[in-house]
Chain A
Amino acid sequence: MSLNTALLSVAGHPVENGRCLSRGVISVALVIAMALAASTWAFADQRGDEIAREADRRDAGWNDMIAELEMVLRNRQGEESTRALRSRLLEVDADGDKLMIIFDRPRDVRGTAFLTYTHRSGPDDQWLFLPALKRVKRISSNNKSGPFMGSEFAYEDLASQEIEKYTYEYRRDEILDGRPTFVVERVPVDSSSGYTKHVAWYDQEEYRLAKIEFYDRKDELLKTLIYRSYQQYLEQYWRPDEMYMENHQTGKSTVLRWSEYEFQTGLTARDFDQNSLRRVR
């Protein structure tokens, strides 16, 4: 019931005497209060959406990107294990990014590569290249909640974060590490996600993600991801040098270090087809 309709129906009653008037005033006040509450709720919902869209808008137009990654896995006893990978990304018009990941270390998986075509709606298309057999195998993209290379990052944490993959709800403003941020709750649209929700902190000045808390299927806090050392590229795009993921339930953590970022090197869809997947080194 819109505010206008509410006011009209109250106004339609003839004003009889003082008692009717006070009842009328209470009714109007009640309706106005309800309407305001309803629109605040809608406002918060829209606000969350707006923040996500603004963050996405500020990061659009980089076209293609390559980077090197190093992952250091650490268990509760402090023992470490290292992974090295390379990634290539391509922005696609009106759809999700294309992503290729090539494994360099550990050496027994060297040369294995993943190719993903992310889609805004529906499942992603995914292929795996197995170098020993020279085989390209198409796999299901359903299994996204499992650990990536034994780390604390799940496949869905590293996948291209299209805005259509979540619904958003603005929660509040907060000062985080001396910076004003927006706190937005994100709920994954895909039921095969391992999370009931994320709580995400976007800094207000540049709309960069500063921190994400992940809540598991029992709605308990599972992991926290912290983004560190943002650098700006091409005078527009912010990329973190480091991402630190801590699992509060197991005490394990993973540090993901990005380096050698290069943008607009001229990659095209052709660099993300199965023929290119077979050629990776």
Chain B
Amino acid sequence: MVTIVLTVVAWGLCENPAHGQQITGQVSMEGRLFTQDALRDNLYPANVSIAIEPEFYQELNDGRQSLTVVPFFRWDEHDSERTHWDVRELDWEYFARDWELRAGVRKVFWGVTESNHLVDVINQTDLVEDLDTEAKLGQPMVNLAIIQPWGTLDLYALIGFRQRRFFGADGRPGIPFPFNSDGAKIDGGKFGWAMRWAHTAGPMDIGVSQFHGTARDPRFFIGDQPIVIADFIRSPFPSIDTQDPVIVPGYEVIDQLGVDAQLTMNGWLLKFEGINRWGQGSRFAAMTGGLEYTLGNLRSSGLDLGLLVEYSYDDRGIEALTPLEDDVFLGGRLAFNDVQTTEVLAGTVLDRTSKASFLLVEASRRLGERSTLDVRIRSFVGVPPDDVFLYGIRNDDYLQASWTLYF
């Protein structure tokens, strides 16, 4: 917190024209209500959390360089693992006609699909933020982008590795089996590298990527043996103290080849992401493919209805490190296009193997000119014991409301 305050003060003292300097950010207050008793004893039915994320942007002298600093902090009422801070960005960028150079802590997003992000491999997931794995921890790197008529080639030298932030033992929704992240095994040195070629040709956007380094997704081990998570999910959920063999997360060195492509035609978006990964057990492949279509300005009412269907498949089946191993996602988004930018999103993920389903409803709206209200419902329906990931958190359905103020 002191660091944040000092940074703000230091920034304010810099003499720079207002046009090239921006200090902005957001503060959000989040409340969660859990509708069912937890599988573990004495877990809380409600939770409050506050997050702050200021952003400092400075354009440097010749306008060709910029510096961005984004610290982040969250306080959580019950889960001490969820109370955390991070440097999301500490990024210096220089751009020239045929290339761009970027160095520091950054976030890079690769991909085109909505329900699953397979090719997005550079940043570690900040899982305590939300189950949807979209929040990421900053990654230190040096990135050179070469920009030519045949596309953009991004080269990355990734410096340092960050472990995944997991929910604490007292967290809801929690991790469905007990493990000790303090004893994590991390293979590989401090460096990794990645590259991606991206190109747009008419209605097609395509990207091919390669990553080499420590995997951001851990497997779980007892000693040197990777475990099959399904073997360790039990009900009633055992308390941590009686756990005998110590399960730890293990981050292994992998090579991953990724392809992402989108075809945009006549209002239809056709999307695909596929990966091949070596190094985490035997080689495996995974893919996500789907369609998106928007019915715009329905009956001249101004409303837009977006429809989305995606299918995800993972070779590893029950050993997959993701719940999306044979799943269909169906979603719809209704945008009112009103002055308050009201939007409602509803989606469901259906597991074809386990028949479990996960339901998500989100509504958001601007309040006044400076803040937004976001309401979310997450619900796990009909989860059988063999759905590894969801079984342990099947009673952690929640309703969340958050109010965010922008400055």
Apart from A123-B266, A146-B296, A281-B59: 6 A-B pairs, beta carbons within 8 A: A75-B339, A137-B112, A143-B304, A145-B296, A281-B57, A281-B66
29 contacts between A and B (CB under 8 A): A73-B339, A106-B406, A107-B406, A108-B341, A110-B24, A110-B406, A123-B266, A125-B264, A133-B134, A135-B111, A138-B205, A139-B269, A143-B297, A144-B296, A145-B296, A146-B302, A146-B304, A146-B337, A150-B337, A150-B338, A150-B340, A192-B267, A194-B297, A217-B300, A274-B198, A274-B200, A275-B95, A279-B66, A279-B93
A76 within 8 A of B: no
Among A107, A125, A146, the residue within 8 A (CB) of B297 is: A146
Question: Would you call A142 an interface residue if the criterion is a C-beta within 8 Å of the partner chain's C-beta atoms?
Answer: yes
Tell me the minimal C-beta distance from B88 to chain A in angstroms.
10
Would A108 and B147 be within 8 Å (CB), given that A133-B134, A150-B339 are in contact?
Answer: no
User: B180-197 toward A: CB 8 Å interface, digit per residue (1/0)?
Assistant: 000000000000000000
The CA-CA distance from A140 to B203 in the complex, in Å, is: 10
Q: How far is the CB of A250 from chain B (nearest CB, A)?
A: 10
Please give the distance in Å from B91's CB to the nearest CB on chain A. Answer: 11
- A134 interfacial contact with B, CB 8 Å: yes
List CB contacts (< 8 Å) of B99-116 with chain A. Answer: 100, 107-109, 111-112
Interchain CA distance A81-B269 in the complex, whole Å: 33
Q: Is there contact, CB below 8 Å, between A138 and B339?
A: no
CB closest residue in chain A, given B364: A108
Is A251 interfacial (CB-CB < 8 Å)? Answer: no
Structural contact, B300 and A194, CB atoms closer than 8 A: yes
Do A275 and B66 form a contact, CB below 8 Å, given A106-B370, A133-B109, A150-B339?
no
In the complex, chain A residues whose CB is within 8 Å of the CB of B147: 270, 273, 275
**A213 in contact (CB, < 8 A):** no
Bound Cα distance A275, B404 (Å): 29
Q: Which B127-165 residues sit within 8 Å CB-CB of chain A?
A: 134, 145, 147, 152
Taking CB atoms, residues of chain B closer than 8 Å to A105 are 369
A residues apposed to B, CB below 8 Å: 73, 75, 81-82, 105-110, 123, 125, 133-135, 137-140, 142-147, 149-150, 154, 192, 194, 216-217, 268, 270, 273-276, 279, 281
**B407, CB-defined interface residue at 8 Å:** yes
Q: Which residues of B contact A147 (CB under 8 A)?
A: 302, 337
**B280 interface contact, C-beta 8 A:** no
Bound complex: CA A143 to CA B108 (Å): 29
B329 to chain A, nearest CB (A): 17
Chain A residues in 8 Å Cβ range of B97: 268, 270
Distance A81 CA – B302 CA, assembled complex (angstroms): 18
Tell me if B22 is interfacial: C-beta within 8 Å of chain A: yes
Taking a contact as CB atoms under 8 Å apart, the answer to whether A281 and B200 are in contact is no
The 9 nearest A-B residue pairs measured at CB:
A143-B296, A107-B406, A142-B267, A146-B297, A150-B339, A145-B297, A135-B109, A134-B109, A140-B267
Is the pair B300, A106 in contact by a Cβ cutoff of 8 Å? no
User: In whole Å, how far is B349's beta carbon from the nearest beta carbon of chain A?
Assistant: 19
Instruction: Look across to chain A and name the residue whose beta carbon is closest to the beta carbon of B339.
Output: A150
- Docked complex Cα distance between A154 and B152 (Å): 33
Nearest chain A CB to B55 CB, angstrom units: 9
- Please state if B264 and A281 are interface contacts (CB–CB under 8 Å): no
Known contacts A133-B109, A145-B297, A146-B337: A140-B269 contact under CB 8 Å: yes
Asked whether A150 lies within 8 Å of B341 as measured between CB atoms, the reply is yes
Bound-state CA distance A268–B147 (Å) is: 14
Q: Which residue of chain A is the closest to B88 with respect to CB atoms? A: A134
How far is B304's CA from A105's CA once the two chains are assembled, in angstroms?
22
In angstroms, Cα B152 to Cα A270, docked, is 12
Q: Which residues of A contact B337 (CB under 8 A)?
A: 146-147, 150
Taken together as a complex, chains A and B put the C-alpha atoms of A137 and B372 apart, in Å, by: 23
List B contacts of A81 (CB < 8 A).
339, 369
Q: How far is the CA of A88 from the CA of B202 in the complex (A)?
A: 22
In the bound assembly, the distance between CA atoms of A142 and B262 in angstroms comes to 16
- Whether the pair B269, A106 counts as a contact (CB closer than 8 A) is no
Which A residues are CB-close (under 8 A) to B74?
A: none
Complex Cα distance, B341 from A138, in Å, reads: 21
Chain A residues contacting B338 (CB-CB under 8 Å) are: 150
Residues of A within 8 A of B112 (CB): 137-138
* A145–B337 alpha-carbon span in the complex (Å): 11
B232 beta carbon closer than 8 Å to chain A: no
Assuming the contacts A140-B269, A145-B297, A146-B296, asked whether A108 and B404 have C-beta atoms less than 8 A apart, the reply is yes
Which chain A residues lie closer than 8 Å to B266 at the CB level?
123, 140, 142
CB distance from A83 to the nearest CB of B (A): 9
Residue in A closest to B268 when the chains form the complex, CB atoms: A140
- Across the interface, which residues of B come within 8 angstroms of A146, CB to CB? 296-297, 302, 304, 337
Question: Which residues on A sit within 8 Å (CB–CB) of B339?
Answer: 73, 75, 81, 150
